[in-house]
Amino acid sequence: MPPNRPAGPPASRPVPDYGVPPTDALARVRAFADAMTRRRTVRDFSDRPIPAGVLDQALRAAASAPSGANRQPWRFVVVTDPELKRRLRVAAEAEERVFYERRAPEEWLSALAPLGTDASKPFLETAPAVIVVFEVHRGPRSPRPYYVKESVGIAVGLLLAALHQAGLATLTHTPSPMRYLNELLDRPTEERGNLIIPVGYPADDATVPDISRKPLSEVVVWR
């Protein structure tokens, strides 16, 4: 028998009760889809506080995501300290200036143009909370993970959905490279920055780009 493989079958328990009668299934999923199609990326945040417990429950939903070999290779660092958020903004904007001025090809910049993005990231300071998502790779305190990016991506999707269900706005920020996050947030080297998510309520005068989603006929194939 290969080393480290269990001698017997894995422990198991009954499937949890999903609790949705077939007669309610369509209404439930339609309501969820209606809510999620109203979700938009927001770049202008209010400093209005987030109700107590909301972030905990949203992160609880995210941490329930499936993952390769159940390694759960994610770490969520919640930043609310104003000075730390300011330092996060300064570091992110330094990387973004290099991106916009030297690193990004013209094709990429053209794709970003309709969204109105630039190197300025005030939302990292104005949003009441910023969740920094790390991938957890093999290290002294963590075993080898599998399908890391896929697993973390699923967890982030659940996190965004949960926050939207709570009436909160989010933005997915991906500065590159992200190694500065380890030093700034005192994280070990086996953790690698994946995403920065400002969370809060939209500012009273917030607007979003007038864009649309592809119709289902373009992204769904039935066979």
Instruction: Provide the 3-class DSSP secondary structure of residue 117.
Output: coil
175-193 in b/e form (b: 16+ CB < 10 A) is beebebbbebbebeebbbb
| Mean per-residue pLDDT, 72-95 | 96
pLDDT of residue 2: 55
Look at residue 3 and tell me whether its pLDDT is greater than 80.
no
**Residue range 161-211, pLDDT digits in tens:** 999 999 999 999 998 889 999 999 999 999 999 999 999 999 999 999 898
User: Could you read off the pLDDT of 33-68 as tens digits, one per residue?
Assistant: 999 999 999 999 999 999 999 999 999 999 999 999
Question: Is pLDDT at 221 greater than 80 in this prediction?
Answer: yes
Residue bearing tokens 């190197």 = 119
Phi, psi of 37 (to 5 degrees): -70, -15
* pTM assigned to the model: 0.92
Residue 1, pLDDT score: 47
- 3-class DSSP string for 60-81: HHHCCCCCECCCCCEEEEEECC
